[in-house]
């Protein structure tokens, strides 16, 4: 028997912020990032992301550099604190309500984000989501490197990762619902049967209007 599958983007969709930006701000507060120009450069790169023009490997080399001297366990401990203090307070109430309803109904939910997986998986756990995919970073000598492991869950890569996941499942999912705000997720919107746009960027708004996709306005 076929079952519905609900897929969610993270940043600016389930939460009213970008988790990578919150992470970097947290690392500045912790004194891990000491470069006074780092957050300005981060903002410049995030603007490219919003426009659908970000070079993801270049961004990850920038983003991962401050963590080079930290062990995997040290990074994971910092992530736990950041998720609890900085990310979870930005979750939209509408997202919490929908995820809880889907859980009660026994519907499978997946979080797929272009944020690094060591953040995405911890956020998913806090949200009660049983499946999560982010950009996996290669671990070398107990340190997270700036090298991507496998396919990055970014743009078309989200579809590739999802297809691989679907191929591994014993259940058959034919009705795929997807929630996102970003033009970067257009490939997954077109792959899913029921795309929903949440506070969409201007480019995605145009597609949603043309395709008559549901447009949701979530806020706190």
Q: Which residues are annotated as catalytic?
A: 9, 11
- Please report which helix (H) or strand (E) contains residue 96, including its range: helix 93-104
| 80 close to 125: Cβ distance less than 8 angstroms | no
User: How many C-beta atoms lie closer than 10 Å to residue 159's C-beta?
Assistant: 19
201 strand-pairing partners: none
d(Cα 174, Cα 48) in Å, to the nearest integer?
34
| 176 close to 195: Cβ distance less than 8 angstroms | no
Q: Whose structure tokens read 């891990």?
A: 32
């Amino acid at each position: 028997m076929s079952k519905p599958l609900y897929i969610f983007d993270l940043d600016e969709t389930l939460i009213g912020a970008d988790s990578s930006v919150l992470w970097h701000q947290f690392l500045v507060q912790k004194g891990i990032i000491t470069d006074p120009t780092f957050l300005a450069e981060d903002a410049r790169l995030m603007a490219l992301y919003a426009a659908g023009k970000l070079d993801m490997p270049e961004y990850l080399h920038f983003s991962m550099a401050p963590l080079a001297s930290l062990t995997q366990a040290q990074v994971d401990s910092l992530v736990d604190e950041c998720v609890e203090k900085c990310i979870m307070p930005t979750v939209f109430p509408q997202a919490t309500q929908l995820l809880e309803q889907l859980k009660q109904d026994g519907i499978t939910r997946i979080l797929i984000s272009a944020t690094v997986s060591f953040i995405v998986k911890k956020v998913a756990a806090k949200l009660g989501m049983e499946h999560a995919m982010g950009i996996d970073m290669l671990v070398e000598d107990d340190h997270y490197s700036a090298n991507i492991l496998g396919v990055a869950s970014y743009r078309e890569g989200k579809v590739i990762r999802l297809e691989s996941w679907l191929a591994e499942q014993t259940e058959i999912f034919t009705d795929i619902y997807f929630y996102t705000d970003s033009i970067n997720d257009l490939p997954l919107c077109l792959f899913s049967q029921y795309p929903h746009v949440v506070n969409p960027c201007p480019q995605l708004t145009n597609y949603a209007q043309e395709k008559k996709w549901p447009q949701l306005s979530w806020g706190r």
